[in-house]
Chains A and B, each alone.
Chain A
Amino acid sequence: MTDDLTNLSFEDALAELEAIVRQLEVGQLRLEDAITSYERGAALRQYCQKKLDEAEARVQAIVQRADGTLEAKPMD
């Protein structure tokens, strides 16, 4: 289930999660759909959490080599 999530942006995943939450809260879903939705929602939440956990402050400076290619070097 997480396979099709990797292409999803955090924002889209969050929006879908929100939509699922609202659907579930209205309580109009069929039971089977509700469970499927919940599973999807849980996967989305996990994916979003992972995205948030990936936070890493890494600052690099671009250096242009003589041949025009770029290189990123850590900054102090």
Chain B
Amino acid sequence: MDEQFPDSGPIMGGNTPEFSVSEISGAIRRTLEGTFGRIRVRGEITEFKRYPSGHLYFSLKDEGGKLSSVVWRGTVSRLGLKPENGLEVIATGKISAYGERSSYQMVIDRLEYAGEGALLARIERLRLRLAAEGLFDAGRKRALPFLPRVIGVVTSAQGAVLHDIRTTIARRFPLPVLVWPVPVQGEGAAERIAHAIAGFDAVDGRGSVPRPDVLIVARGGGSLEDLMAFNDEVVLRAVAACHIPLISAVGHETDTTLIDFVSDCRAPTPTAAAEMAVPVRMELEAGLTQREARLRSGLARSLQLARARLDRAAASLPDLPAVVEGARRRLDDRSYRLDLALPTHMRHLRASLRSASDRLPAPQMILALRRADLARVDTACLQAMTAYINRREATLGSLRVPPAVLVSQLRACASRLAGEGGRLASLSPQAVLERGYVLVTDRKGKPLSQAAQARRAAQVVLTFADGKVAARPLPSGEAAQQILDL
């Protein structure tokens, strides 16, 4: 370009056509729109912006390029999906240039998911995110009421789904059904569905509208894209926030949408959802009848058992009159025997006394016996004495000495005596005196055998064979002198 249009352009002007800016930009716009007409472009949404005016601005990009795009407010509702960043789409529209800004853009009137894979990937991303938040936790699931009073249904007012639900409920158990009609696909469907769910949850039942105690959110079968409202985060969050137990029944049995993860109960079809919501009245009535019968027979059985126990107890109750009679008879018996006992005892004692007194001996008899004993002892004693004396006498008799022996003994004794007498006579002091000796004694006859004794005595007696002479000893000097004198 630089070569073709150098700085010296005006000088080299010549045959090069000249356009005004508006001419050229208009020409470019016409060229672009004419060349491409209506086109489909595949790319990933990026730089998404929703303007207050209602227009949507974003770019489509792929590895090599970027295309500015716009969705005018009027076509947003017919767009077919809700654009968001990262979404792989096929956009339908036309290329248009915006001359004032020297830019071109694609004006989109329809968006489709770029193939099922892209759609599923998006669903999977959302599923993982919500699962991580715990929105699908089993602990969050509410139990369905066994017998609801009012059933709320969020679905399309037209179509077979509502019909199926109504006929199923009418067949099983006719109950009031509240329908909150919603579009089930297309732009805004998700918001309307979410609004209906929240709306039912907000009903407090005080007004003319009763509060449902179970909700059915249903839609018939369709393509994956048709069911996308039920994969929408707005709907999923509304279901999670709902306080009323909720049954989801979206698409056919093989279709699984994210609402099935977050709902309290997943039904394969709308009919199945209605079956889950209400029991079969006939069965309940039959069950009730059966229970009533069991109730009756149960009570009858209880009564029967009680009666049987009463009978048994009554049968084993003792016969009171018989008991009293028996006691009375025993009492009579004892008192009769009591009356008899004392006299019998007395009689018995008396008999014992009598027999004892019979055996008692008479005093005469005792004396006689004692006397006899005494006599016996006396006699024995006498005999023993006599025998003793006799024995002694016999002994004495055997001890007598003969007279001859005695005489000889006497003679021997006499001779001895004579001999001894002679010796005695020879030894007599008389004999000595006869031979001339004198015996000196004191007056008392006590012999004085020493001179000293005689000198001290005042008087001595001199005994001679033929008599006695009294003498008085001289004093000791005189005597000696006299002797000498002599």
Contacts and interface: CB of A to CB of B under 8 A. Distances in A.
Interface of A: 9-11, 14, 17-18, 20-21, 23-25, 27, 29, 31, 34-35, 37-38, 41-42, 45, 48-49, 51-52, 55-62, 64, 69-72, 75
B166 A27 contact: no
A21 B296 CA distance: 9
Which of B146, B203, B302 has the most A CB atoms < 10 Å from its CB?
B302
Interface string B159-199: 00000001001100111111111000000000000001001
Contacts of B157: 61, 75
Main DSSP-derived SS at the B contact region? helix
B374 interface: no
B367 interface: no
Given A61-B181, A70-B203, A70-B209, A29 B174 contact: no
Nearest to A57: B174
26 contacts: A10-B284, A14-B146, A14-B284, A14-B288, A17-B295, A21-B294, A21-B295, A24-B301, A25-B297, A27-B298, A27-B301, A27-B305, A31-B302, A35-B299, A38-B295, A38-B298, A48-B284, A49-B285, A52-B281, A52-B285, A55-B173, A56-B176, A57-B174, A57-B176, A61-B180, A71-B208
Contacts of B421: none
B475 interface: no
A21 B300 CA distance: 12
Contacts of A75: 157, 179
A60 B176 contact: yes
A43 B166 CA distance: 32
Contacts, number: 120
Contacts of B298: 21, 23-25, 27, 34, 38
B176 A58 contact: yes
Contact of A45 (B169, B178, B292): B292
A24 B291 contact: no
B147 interface: yes
B207 A55 contact: no
A56 B175 contact: yes
A48 B302 CA distance: 24
Contacts of A10: 146-147, 284
Contacts of A34: 298-299, 302-303, 306
Nearest to B165: A59
A52 B306 contact: no
A38 B416 CA distance: 164
A69 to B, nearest CB: 7
Band of interface residues on B: 35 or more
B302 A55 contact: no
A51 B178 contact: no
A11 to B, nearest CB: 3
Contacts of A71: 208-209
Contacts of A60: 176-179
A50 B242 CA distance: 30
Given A10-B146, A52-B281, A62-B209, A24 B299 contact: yes
A37 B306 CA distance: 15
B145 interface: yes
B482 to A, nearest CB: 176
B145 A11 contact: yes
Contact of B181 (A48, A56, A62): A62
A70 B199 contact: yes
A31 to B, nearest CB: 5
B176 A45 contact: no
Contact of A59 (B177, B196, B281, B295): B177
Interface in B301-318: 301-303, 305-306
Contacts of B299: 24, 34-35, 37-38
Contacts of A55: 173-175, 281
Contacts of B306: 31, 34
Interface in B36-57: none
A59 B166 contact: yes
A20 B146 CA distance: 19
Nearest to B203: A70
A43 to B, nearest CB: 11
